[in-house]
């Protein structure tokens, strides 16, 4: 199976020149990768999370790595007034917002019985309300630019993954926001899509959640890379996707399709082997 490729080999370097992207959760993990990919293709970025010192360091590194400007803005996505201030700061700095990535998320493994009332509410607030808050606050600017929104989802709720009830519920609601916004905001020229990454290596999520990940169980036979998600995000923001809205694109090498078949990969290969030997 081929490795993910450098996006500069696929997309024109300046396809997002003049565009401004606002990214919650943009200082780390998958969303940092998506932001850097947009910067490499000409965009300017504002990244938002709770801790300014971490964000400021990330912004400097991201700018040095890509040559694009990165504005760090501290805000808790659960607090509408802080979200509105982050949107205002972005517009004050760059004059517009073209793209919004709703990526801020909280996650941990916890069985339903061990999930406190506050734990469930916390993840719903960060993921779902955070997505709602940012999109609501950025809407006037997205209308002005006829922009695009990308919501980061997950595949957990497709199958009912154990110990991930809180995140599955939050992401299912985010998928609903994606389709409802696509319908309501399409007439304003705003496209709203989502990406559901599978397990992606070198992210906090993977470090926390994936002790026993089995690459052989992935139909495409490897764990995901941040670059895999970057490529899909660049496509969805690009003019190549200008007739696509309301879609949540799964970027997981087929992981979730095979996630209920823990013991099968070897037996499938053995079966294929036996079939071949008889042909």
Residues forming contacts to ligand COA in the complex (CB under 6 A) are: 105-108, 110, 114, 116, 118-119, 122-123, 126, 204-205, 208
Alpha helices in 41-164 (DSSP H): 52-66, 80-94, 117-123, 130-145, 156-159
Q: How far apart are CA 200 and CA 155, in angstroms?
A: 12
- Write down the least CB distance from residue 114 to ligand COA, Å: 6
Cβ–Cβ under 8 Å, residues 117 and 124: no
- Write down the least CB distance from residue 264 to ligand COA, Å: 27
Residue with tokens 């309501």: 184
* Chain position whose Cβ is nearest to ligand COA: 106
- Write down the least CB distance from residue 242 to ligand COA, Å: 29
Indicate the residue among 2 and 116 with the shorter CB distance to ligand COA: 116
CA 261 to chain centre: 26
Cβ–Cβ under 8 Å, residues 149 and 190: yes
Indicate the residue among 108 and 235 with the shorter CB distance to ligand COA: 108
Residue with tokens 């506050």: 118
Rg (the chain; Cα; Å): 19
Identify the DSSP state of 95.
Answer: S
Indicate the residue among 136 and 208 with the shorter CB distance to ligand COA: 208
Q: How far apart are CA 135 and CA 140, in angstroms?
A: 9
- Write down the least CB distance from residue 164 to ligand COA, Å: 10
- Write down the least CB distance from residue 19 to ligand COA, Å: 26
- Write down the least CB distance from residue 197 to ligand COA, Å: 9
| Residue 45: Cβ within 10 Å count | 29
Which strand (E) or helix (H) includes residue 199?
A: none
Indicate the residue among 62 and 105 with the shorter CB distance to ligand COA: 105
Torsion of CA 40, 103, 96, 90, to 10 degrees: -100
Angle 29-40/226-237 helices, nearest 10 degrees?
50
Indicate the residue among 114 and 187 with the shorter CB distance to ligand COA: 114
Q: How far apart are CA 56 and CA 269, in angstroms?
A: 49
- Write down the least CB distance from residue 96 to ligand COA, Å: 29
Indicate the residue among 38 and 167 with the shorter CB distance to ligand COA: 167
Indicate the residue among 76 and 98 with the shorter CB distance to ligand COA: 76
């Amino acid at each position: 199976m081929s490795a993910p490729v450098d996006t500069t080999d696929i997309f024109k370097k300046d396809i997002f020149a003049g565009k401004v992207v606002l990214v919650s959760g943009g200082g780390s993990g998958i969303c940092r990768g998506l932001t850097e990919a947009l910067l490499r293709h000409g965009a300017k970025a504002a990244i938002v999370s709770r801790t300014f010192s971490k964000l400021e360091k990330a912004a400097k590194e991201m700018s040095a790595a890509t040559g694009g400007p990165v504005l760090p803005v501290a805000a808790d996505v659960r607090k509408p007034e802080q979200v509105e201030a982050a949107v205002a700061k972005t517009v004050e700095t760059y004059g517009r917002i073209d793209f919004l990535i709703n990526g801020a998320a909280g996650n941990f493994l916890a069985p339903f019985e061990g999930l406190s009332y506050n734990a469930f509410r916390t993840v719903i607030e960060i993921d779902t309300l955070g997505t709602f808050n940012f999109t609501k606050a950025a809407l006037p600017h997205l209308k002005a630019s006829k922009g695009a929104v990308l919501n980061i989802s997950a595949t957990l709720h497709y199958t009912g993954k154990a110990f991930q009830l809180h995140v599955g519920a939050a992401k299912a609601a985010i998928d609903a926001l994606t389709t409802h916004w696509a319908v309501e905001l399409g007439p304003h020229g705003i496209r709203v899509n989502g990406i559901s990454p599978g397990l992606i290596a070198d992210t906090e999520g993977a470090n926390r959640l994936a002790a026993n990940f089995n690459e052989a169980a992935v139909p495409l036979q490897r764990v995901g890379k941040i670059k895999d998600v970057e490529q899909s995000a660049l496509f969805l923001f690009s003019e190549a996707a200008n007739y696509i809205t309301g879609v949540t694109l799964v970027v997981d090498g087929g992981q979730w399709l095979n996630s209920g078949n823990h013991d099968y990969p070897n037996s499938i290969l053995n079966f294929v082997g036996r079939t071949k030997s008889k042909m």
